[in-house]
A and B are shown apart, each in its own frame.
Chain A
Amino acid sequence: MPDMTSKTDVQGDSSTPRQQALHISNLAFRWDQTQPPLSYPDITLNAGEHLFLRGPSGSGKSTLLSLLGGLIVPDAGTLTLLGTELAGLTSGQRDRFRADHMGVIFQQFNLVPYLTTLDNVMLPCRLSRKRRAQALPTPAKEAESLLTELGIPESHWHRRVTGLSVGQQQRVAAARALTGAPELILADEPTSALDSDNRDRFIELLLGLAAEKRSSVVFVSHDQGLAKRFDHQIALETIQ
């Protein structure tokens, strides 16, 4: 049964006047009543800072992302995002909150297969008015410039995403997460399907663009080699 303890605490200085992107304390969750709960270390992350979240399989990394995304609610503890206590929101409000403030990148299969590359990138702008307003100058223009920066050839923009390579798909997913400048980007092992060249390039582009959009990135991975690029790192561990 997985149980987590904090190995390294977040080094961020919570006394700075910057807005907190994320604050969790005493957080616990269980998928199943017959199992002991997953519990998490307290984390505070300031706006614009990036967090590396490491841990073996089953340590609850993805569950933490689901909690942060508001898709599931914690059994105990508090979870505050951008000054908003998620537990105080209804599930509909949490969906709204996620659409307005968060970008998400999965491990793989990130794209809606029947939409074009551009439509996939602009999907958050169609689900959130706020993101649409923040996509400057227009959602389409912003998507195009993101795709250019992420190195997706223009010939793919208006085609369905099924023709893209895995590396390209992950970069399109990054463009989608970044569009409309969300405050928080949740990335669930986005580089695990990539080779090392692609991986380094991906991280570089993601963090570079996130800095441009002033977005905080919560990056989950078990690849310790990536940790040095982040402001903070936390390891979740399974205690046998």
Chain B
Amino acid sequence: MSIRLAFSLAMASLWYRRRVLALVTLTLTLSITLLLGVQYLRTEVKQSFSNTISGTDLIVGARSGQLNLLLYTIFHIGDATNNIRWSTYQKLQEDQRIDWLVPISLGDSYRGHRVVGTSDQFPEHFRYGRDQKPELLAGEWFSDVFEVVLGARVADQHDHQPGDDIILSHGGGKTSFSNHKDTPFRVTGILAPTGTPVDQAVYVSLQGLEAIHIGWESGVAIPGRTVTPEEARKRDLTPDAITAALVGIDRKVLTFQVQRQINESQAEPLSAILPGVALSELWRIMGQFEKALLGITGFVVIISLIGLIAVLLTLQVQRRQEIAILRATGASPMLIASLHVIECVILAVSACGLALIVGAAGIAGLSPWLLETWGIQVTLRPLNQTEWLIITSVPLASLIVGLAPALLAWRGSRKQGLGHVMPE
């Protein structure tokens, strides 16, 4: 009975003071939303991040650190230190243990988007997420030298349809002054959104890249040495070098053996990396930032809990008379103290509930924008264990901080006379 009474009194008291308490609850709600949001996004971004590549056993490139190689081949961040010779690539193709190879050739761009020279092996073997294939939203994969397939974001941003002609630029950068304007490419296909850097890239054939660089050997177009598309088609368009290759191994147990052999290659200095290992190393570096961010938002929650206590302690002065009445009617100091704790916990629980609603609405509202602007795929999902831990720890923390006013009230009401606060 006493607990029911305490609850009903606490609810009535909260409702009576709803105007003041609404503000502290709002503060608490926002800080919990922030904390939960950061934790949620952290998990989602990590998921999205490790979804960038799957199914590839090794990435082979010129000798460099594994992070560098991963960043420029998969995330299209930074530049290759060196190329690998075409002959090396061919040697890899002959290797019995290797199931498939996807060549990757980088260096050019289209309005700030990376141009990736590859082959029809790319849609065949490149996988992201849970073994997902890059699907074509429209059109088909390139089959001709001067055909191009666009990532979802590229097509969307520049409003391209299959059939459009585009001009690639030499080198990277958003605005390039040296364009391959003699050799336009025709869009044949547009990829479906993947939430990975694939969306931001432009795919052409290795031969296409070779063709547009005829006459560009010195880095700029030398007048008179460039060729028209028709002339280019007549040349031998086998590349001399590529930037990297994605490798699929037939029997997975041989992965380390192949990796070691490539790393020790005498013909050319090469690096073979395990994408999963490189991804987790990359995440470990990025993880420091998000941990710091989580720590900061944790402090925000603590600060708003302290604010809540400050408000409750201020209210306590107003509540002396009410407590005197309850005491005179026979309420024990424990009942008075439990009123404070219950009120504090009810506020925290309602703030958590509101935070869940605000958070879910926020994620549902922002996820299209996040995918579009940042290429991060965030979906609404049930909370995981850590998030539940966070959301239950807030009422627990409020229970602990609620003990402060409760203890004061308990001590005060023990010393209180009938209707009179004991002279200090």
Contacts and interface: CB of A to CB of B under 8 A. Distances in A.
A112 B322 contact: yes
A214 interface: no
Interface string A53-82: 000000000110110110110000000000
B5 A127 contact: yes
Given A115-B12, A188-B418, 15 more contacts: A63-B417, A68-B418, A69-B418, A106-B324, A106-B328, A106-B419, A113-B322, A114-B13, A114-B17, A114-B322, A119-B12, A124-B329, A127-B329, A127-B331, A188-B419
Interface stretch (A20-28, A90-98, A135-143): A90-98
Given A112-B325, A114-B13, A62 B420 contact: yes
Nearest to B322: A112
Contacts of A31: 422-423
A123 interface: yes
Contacts of B331: 95, 99, 127
A119 B419 CA distance: 20
Q: Of A65, A91, A110, A126, which is in contact with the most chain B CB atoms at under 10 Å from its CB?
A: A126
A144 interface: no
B43 interface: no
A99 to B, nearest CB: 2
13 contacts: A62-B418, A72-B417, A91-B414, A99-B331, A106-B324, A106-B325, A110-B325, A114-B12, A114-B13, A115-B9, A127-B330, A160-B16, A188-B418
A197 interface: no
B53 to A, nearest CB: 60
A4 interface: no
B332 interface: yes
Interface of B: 1, 5, 9, 12-13, 15-17, 321-322, 324-333, 414, 416-420, 422-423
A207 B342 CA distance: 39
Interface residues of A, number: 39
Given A109-B321, A114-B13, A114-B15, A32 B330 contact: no
Contact of A114 (B1, B16, B422): B16
Contacts of A124: 329-330
B423 A71 contact: no
B328 to A, nearest CB: 4
A107 interface: yes
B417 A71 contact: yes
Contacts of A65: 417-419
B319 to A, nearest CB: 9
Contacts of B327: 71, 95
A6 B422 CA distance: 25
Contacts of A160: 16
Contacts of A96: 330, 332
B1 to A, nearest CB: 7
A175 interface: no
Contacts of B9: 112, 115
Contacts of B332: 91-92, 95-96
B420 A66 contact: yes
B28 to A, nearest CB: 21
A113 to B, nearest CB: 6
A104 B414 CA distance: 17
Nearest to B420: A62
Contacts of B328: 69, 71, 98, 104, 106
Given A114-B16, A115-B12, A99 B422 contact: no
A167 to B, nearest CB: 18
A68 B418 CA distance: 9
A104 B417 contact: no
B418 A186 contact: yes
Per CB-CB distance, the 4 closest pairs between chain A and chain B, nearest first, are A99-B330, A114-B16, A66-B417, A104-B328
A174 interface: no
Contacts of B329: 98-99, 104, 123-124, 127, 176
Contacts of B321: 109
Nearest to A98: B330
A110 B327 CA distance: 12
A146 interface: no
Contact of A113 (B16, B414, B420): B16
Contacts of A186: 418
A70 to B, nearest CB: 9
B418 A126 contact: no
A100 interface: yes
Interface in A169-206: 176, 186, 188
A213 B5 CA distance: 26
Nearest to B318: A113
Q: Of B9, B328, B422, B423, which is in contact with the most chain A CB atoms at under 10 Å from its CB?
A: B328
A5 interface: no
A134 B116 CA distance: 89
Contacts of A102: 330
A72 B417 CA distance: 6
A35 B15 CA distance: 44
A66 B12 contact: no
A62 B419 contact: yes
Nearest to A104: B328
A174 to B, nearest CB: 13
Contacts of A188: 418-419
A104 B5 CA distance: 19
A186 to B, nearest CB: 7
A43 interface: no
A111 B325 CA distance: 7
A128 interface: yes
A188 B420 CA distance: 11
A152 to B, nearest CB: 18
A160 B17 CA distance: 13
B419 A95 contact: no
Contacts of A69: 328, 418
A114 B325 CA distance: 12
Contacts of B417: 62-63, 65-66, 71-72
